[in-house]
Amino acid sequence: MKSIVLYSTRTGNTKKVAEAIASALPAGTPCVSVKEVPADIASYDCVFIGFWVDRGSADKDSQETMKQLHNKHVAVFATLGADPKSPHAAESLDKGAAFLPEGVQVAGKFICQGAVDPKLIEMMYKQFPAGHPHGKSPERDALHAEAAKHPDAADLEQAKQFAANVMAAIANA
Ligand SMILES: Cc1cc2nc3c(=O)[nH]c(=O)nc-3n(C[C@H](O)[C@H](O)[C@H](O)COP(=O)(O)O)c2cc1C
pLDDT digits (tens, 9 = 90+) for 24-48: 999 999 999 999 999 999 999 999 9
Residue 160 sits in a domain whose CATH number is: 3.40.50.360
Please name the residue ranges forming H helices in 52-152.
60-66, 87-97, 118-127, 138-147
Where do the DSSP E strands lie in the chain?
3-7, 31-33, 46-54, 57-58, 73-80, 106-113
Q: Is 31 helix (H, G, I), strand (E, B) or coil?
A: strand
Task: List, chain by chain if needed, residues with CB within 6 Å of any ligand 1 atom.
Answer: 9-14, 52-56, 79-82, 114-117, 120
Please tell me whether residues 62 and 36 are part of one structural domain.
yes
**pTM, 2 dp:** 0.97
Could you tell me the sign of the dihedral formed by the alpha carbons of 76, 82, 87, 88, in that order? negative
pLDDT digits (tens, 9 = 90+) for 101-119: 999 989 999 999 999 999 9
Please tell me whether residues 110 and 127 are part of one structural domain.
no
Total domains in the fold of the chain: 2
Nearest residue (by CA) to ligand 1, atom 19, is: 116
Please tell me whether residues 63 and 144 are part of one structural domain.
no
